[in-house]
Amino acid sequence: MTQTLTITRMGHQGDGIADTPNGAVFVPGALPGEVVSAVVENGRVESFEIIEASADRRPNFSDAYAECGVAPLQHWADAPYLEWKRDVVLHTLKREGLETEIEATVATPPATRRRIALHARRGPNGRILLGFKARRSWRLVEIRDCPVSDPALVAAFPAMARVADAFLVHPKSAPTLHATLTDTGIDLDVTGVEKRSGGLSADQIAKAIAAAAEGGFARLSLDGDTLVMERQPRITFGRASVPIPAGGFLQASPAAEAAMVERAVAAVKGSKKVADLFCGAGTFTFPLAEVASVMAADSAASSIAALKAGLSTAQGLKGIEAQARDLFRRPLSPYDLKGCDAIVMDPPRAGALEQTQQLPGTKASVVVGVSCNPQTFARDARVLVDAGFTLEKVTPIDQFIWSTHIELVGVFRR
């Protein structure tokens, strides 16, 4: 039966929520203050008609993005959208009993994302389609434009499709093209290609390499293994030019990365030695080394090798030492961190509980936590606060614009 619902608030997963006598009803795509008509099934609405629209509603930037759900909040005006992200961080911290200054969410401009992962499929007419999966479906939604990504990536979509054509010979292959815009061109890593049934023929590999050369890609790799490299993909971190490993991690937006780095460096100024944990290829390491010596660690040996290769390109830095180490299984102990008076951590979504538990025993007076998951950040923050640290402030950063994803930087002082 169709019901009339008034959206009272926005949930943490980006769904509009109507509070009814039968409980909360989740309405994806609806905004606070809107009145909608919809059929409710198990407390959820799949589609609705707007009776009264919010003044904060705006047209979609991309209907295809709306269909696949990768930008579920693109129809929300900037100011309330950014404030909502701040509120999510605020309430997530409160659930752990943490209160602190939450700064305004740092916005990221559209058309600046330097990484994109596109699924490739062959259409009914044989044409190669690139896109994302539709919401709750295996159906591919073709993407021909992307208001989030750097125009240089968008311009390369046709060339990416020609590369993908060579990897679609086996019916079980479902290639995903991971494209990264670097200082020296686009780095393209392909995953999801069927290998257990004989793999690719030499002719198909040659076809892919030729298509990559025609498209001007810096490098083409398959599951991180380089097939051809015309130019070494490089990224600038601080004063260093770092050769990025195939399939290696990189922050999605240079603007968001700069906002994180700026806050981390500002927080540790005055320190003599900084530990940069989960350092990757040196996103924070090199900027930190402009103000203090740095001990860097990460589980990815290829990232550590890239960081070390970048050392020779940077002048005027304090000392940097780097090691490959699994910080989940073998977290650095207070003894290992001896001499470090500041610590910066940028762990994956799972957080860094095992490593965080080691920090109270160190002499570090400041800890900077960079996180892509407010829930695990709050869990780990509780450990530090219980040990006598004060959570000085937290800055939400909207790296993945129009999504429910939230990055943040938190500063702790002993």
- Mean of pLDDT over the chain: 95
Enumerate the known binding-site residues for S-adenosyl-L-methionine.
Answer: 251, 278, 298, 346
| pLDDT at 199 exceeding the cut of 80 | no
Contacts of 90 (CB under 8 A, 6+ apart): 102
- 115-234 matches 82-108+253-413 in CATH topology: no
Cα gap 2→47, rounded to integer Å: 11
pLDDT tens digit string along 336-358?
999 999 999 999 999 999 999 99
Please name the fold of domain 2-57. OB fold (Dihydrolipoamide Acetyltransferase, E2P) (2.40.50)
Looking at the predicted structure, is the pLDDT value of residue 400 above 70? yes
pLDDT for 197: 61
Give the start-to-end residue ranges of the domains of the chain. Answer: 2-57, 82-108+253-413, 115-234
Per-residue pLDDT at 410 exceeds 90: yes
- Binding site: what residues are annotated? 251, 278, 298, 346
The catalytic residues are 372
Confidence check: pLDDT of 69 > 90: no
Class of domain 82-108+253-413: alpha beta
pLDDT of residue 198: 59
Residue 15 has pLDDT above 70, yes or no: yes
- Give Cα separations from 55 to 52, 59, 67 (angstroms): 9, 12, 23
**Fold of the domain spanning 115-234:** OB fold (Dihydrolipoamide Acetyltransferase, E2P) (2.40.50)
